[in-house]
Every structure is written in C-alpha cells, then in structure tokens.
Structure 1
Amino acid sequence: MGEIIDLSQEIYSGMPVFNGLPKVHISVYATHEQWEGIPNPKTSTPSVKKLEFGEHTGTHVDALSHMGIKYVES
C-alpha cells in the first residue's frame, strides 16, 4: 500500500507565498461575546476565524489531487 508523508507547514497571516499567489489572511470573523449579544465586552474570545489563502499555500492543501498513487503488490 502507498505511503502518505505529511509535509504540512504552519499557515499564518503574512506567511511567505510564491510570487503571484494570494497572500494569507487569517482574521476573527465572530467572537463569543458578539454571538451572546454582550454590549461593550471587556474580553474578546474568538468563536469563528476567517481563513483566506490559495490552495497552493505552504506545500499544497490539495496535495492528494496533484499526485498519482501507485499501489505495488508485495
């Protein structure tokens, strides 16, 4: 059976990307306090983050669709 090797890198806002690819932006989309309707909260805890980046960011977030898996019987 084939072997998959994880070459993942940390993905973060402002990380280097190949020239011409979209820049990485990670931001807070909503906080728990917003969802609970707390006016003027003293704290802000992220509930949902918004991720914006291209599929080729880091290595490839869609790597399995870019490779052919060859099975060899042992």
Structure 2
Amino acid sequence: MTWRWRYENANGGEVTEGTLPREIFPSQADAESWLGENWKTLLEAGVEKVTLLEGETVEYAGMSLRVE
C-alpha cells in the first residue's frame, strides 16, 4: 500500500492549486518524516491542515500545520 498527504485549507477543503509536492511514500513513517521536514513550506504555500491517507483510507485527518 502507498501513503500520501492530502493538503487542506482552514475549512478542510482540499488545496490543489499551485506547485504543491505530490509525494507518494512506501510507509507511514516515511510520510511522517517527510512532513516533519516540509511542513513550513506547505504552510507558506497556503496549506493549513493535512490528512494522511493509506491508499484511499484515512489514517488521520485535519492535522493543523500551525504551531499553537
């Protein structure tokens, strides 16, 4: 199975505009490590939240990129 991030705006709608990376990962750990290295870039590009998908199954949803 493959893992990927879905990028979302503050209302939970999918962000598809721009040149956002569309990475595919072989494991959950790889996806999470990548996000740890790239979350600031995504936030600067207008992504507010992310959802982690394994195939089309949601692992977890609506994780904010904002540090509170």
Do both proteins adopt the same fold according to a TM-score greater than 0.5, normalized to the shorter chain? no
TM-score by length of 2: 0.27
Specify the structure having the higher radius of gyration (Cα). Answer: 1
* Higher RCO, Cα 8 Å, sep 6+: 2
Q: Which has the higher strand share?
A: 2
